[in-house]
Structure 1
Amino acid sequence: MEASFLSAVVLPIALAIIMLGMGLSLVPEDFQRVKKYPKAVSIGLISQLVFLPMIGFVIAKVVPMQPAIAMGLMIVALCPGGVSSNIITFLAKGDVALSVTLTAFSSVITVFTIPVLGNLAYQHFIGQTAAIALPIGATIVQIFLMTLLPIGLGMGVRQIFPEMARRLEKVTSSLAVALLAAIILVLIIREWNRIPGFILQVGVGVVLLNTISMLVGFYVSKLFNLNSPQQICIAIEVGIQNGTLAIAITAGLLNNPEMAIPAAIYSLFMNVTGLIAISYGRKLAATKSLQQPLESKV
């Protein structure tokens, strides 16, 4: 598969399909939940859009890694929550409504924050004299076409043809997983000889970014006295990133496959911590359900 075909065709199509699937699962009420629990939404978005990039920057500076790898890690930290966070939150007995709201809002907001913060990160790690830059205006337009437009189209179909939307959601989910797997496989094949070195650099950074961000999301939520399902939800939402968007930006917009390596490895590793979150959330929910009958008898 040619690199240009991968970055120019496959990546945007894969991301658009994923975003279309997300749109098919959303209704306008999902964006109105901020009125019902503004504190939880605010804490979730601040953890996602402020704390996560800060954590990513510190890790990229402290852990020894090539500039392209550091930039790739930063792009992961700048991306919104992944659509799989909603499924993982559901399985972990977290607040699914809050998860959907945070995914929706972060997907909209990062259309504008990724180009600005990404440009600053690019200048810092790559240098202003680099041949490739991240043009803010063009990047906003491209991210809009790959994310917000498919989401809006999906929501429109959901409103007008609800039955069709339910059927299409299953198809788009399966197709998106297959395309993402194909993209990661192609990246691995192309960089096979250099992967051991990349893993040594990226592995530590990815593990630190994923685990620290999830712990920060969890304990910040706990600090502000959010309930357990909301704590679980925010921890997952901060840790489960939109890896496909990160790959599309690095391998597509920036045309640098090396920068896409952190996103590819992160997309794999976050499923491990996702399973841990599911196990913890279900045990916590079971403990709470056992405590309630005991408390009612006292």
Structure 2
Amino acid sequence: MQASSTLTTVFLPIALAIIMFGLGLHLTVADFTRVAKVPKAALLALATQVLVLPAVCLGLVLLFDLEPLLAVGMMLLAASPGGTTANIFSHLAGGDVALNITLTAINSVLAVVTLPIVVNLAIAGFLEEGTSIGLQPAKMLQVFAIVLVPVAIGMAVRKRWPAFADRMARPVKIASIAVLVLVIAGAIIAERENVLDYLGDVGLVSLLLVLSSLGLGYAVPRLARVEPRQAIASSFEVGIHNSALAITIALSPTLLNNATMAVPAAVYGVIMFIPAAVLAYWVGGRKRAAVSRT
């Protein structure tokens, strides 16, 4: 089913622009340069997100033999960068939130190149030859525009009016969530006859992707002897993807324009909160207990 309603052509790009603008309100140039202070932790987290996670997702897609459009949607989700929600969970768990902010900033830039590559490979591998949808090189400029331009504007606002940026952070987040919920609801209504089938198809796969992402995001840095607070930050950054970006790219009439491809991101966007919240509560509880014993 092709998504071409007013919701997807007008409100969804607006929602993502607001979300990315809100991200920019929290960022400074120092967030991009901070990686030099913790290169090992940052590079391991980025490598896990960009290289390891798409491979794990591909394995899950093949294991569960997803239908082609859902398979491409899962790969699109896996290639999406981390979201700002990771910062909240990392804070609750006692992670290095500064590292989270840095990783989110760098991931958003990398995704302009890596996301189209992963999606095009997925389309070539799962869909029939000659399929017209896809992120062609010319459309990478559109991905650049919807990801980085609002972030740059938000950063400029923060630099010029830092107090205003602090005041606007919460209202912008609430507005973006409200519009995004409206768009997702519209997409679900459009696909209402298939919703239960989609949940059955991708619900377990999405849950396993969340668990794999959180686990790998923590285990890889710890195996390399990265300190726990940075490993916690990595876990949530790798484990919580920007499902809003994946939904936007899937539904956008000028990009993928396919509602079925948006299903994995929509399902993931709901499921991810449960294991992420459990992990944050458990890790945070252990850290508080360790502090109380000292």
TM-score, normalized by length of structure 1? 0.94
- Per-residue CA deviation, residues 87-120 of structure 1 (Å, 9 max, x unaligned), is 1111221110010011110000011111122111
Distance 2:67 2:179 in 1: 28
Residue aligning to 2:82: 81
Distance 1:171 1:155 in 2: 17
Distance 1:105 1:131 in 2: 31
Residue aligning to 2:93: 92
SS in 1 for 2:65: coil
1:271 Cα deviation after fit:
0.8
* 1:18-167 superposed matches below 5 A: 18-138=19-139, 140-167=140-167
1:164 Cα deviation after fit:
1.3
CA RMSD of the aligned region, Å?
Answer: 1.3
1:226 Cα deviation after fit:
1.5
For the 8 Å contact 1:64–1:201, the answer to whether it is kept is no
Look up the equivalent residue of 1:249 and give its one-letter code: I
Look up the equivalent residue of 1:273 and give its one-letter code: P
SS in 1 for 2:95: coil
For the 8 Å contact 1:122–1:134, the answer to whether it is kept is no
Distance 1:20 1:52 in 2: 26
Distance 2:150 2:235 in 1: 26
1:9 Cα deviation after fit:
1.4
TM-score, normalized by length of structure 2? 0.95
SS in 1 for 2:5: helix
Residue aligning to 2:198: 198
Flag as ranges the 4+ runs of structure 1 deviating above 4 A: none
Residue aligning to 2:268: 266
For the 8 Å contact 1:116–1:136, the answer to whether it is kept is no
Look up the equivalent residue of 1:274 and give its one-letter code: A
Pair 1:283-2:276 in alignment: no
Look up the equivalent residue of 1:106 and give its one-letter code: N
For the 8 Å contact 1:247–1:264, the answer to whether it is kept is yes
Look up the equivalent residue of 1:55 and give its one-letter code: V
Distance 2:169 2:91 in 1: 17
1:15 Cα deviation after fit:
0.7
Distance 2:91 2:115 in 1: 28
Residue aligning to 2:224: 224
Look up the equivalent residue of 2:212 and give its one-letter code: I
- Per-residue CA deviation, residues 170-227 of structure 1 (Å, 9 max, x unaligned), is 2111101111211221122111111111111111210111111211111112101112
**Residues 5-14 or 258-267, more deviating:** 5-14
Look up the equivalent residue of 2:180 and give its one-letter code: L
Show structure 2 runs of 5+ residues with no match: none
Look up the equivalent residue of 1:131 and give its one-letter code: S
1:6 Cα deviation after fit:
2.1
For the 8 Å contact 1:119–1:136, the answer to whether it is kept is no
Residue aligning to 2:180: 180
Look up the equivalent residue of 1:117 and give its one-letter code: V
Look up the equivalent residue of 1:142 and give its one-letter code: Q
1:245 Cα deviation after fit:
0.5
For the 8 Å contact 2:75–2:118, the answer to whether it is kept is no
Distance 2:108 2:93 in 1: 22
SS in 1 for 2:193: helix
For the 8 Å contact 1:79–1:241, the answer to whether it is kept is yes
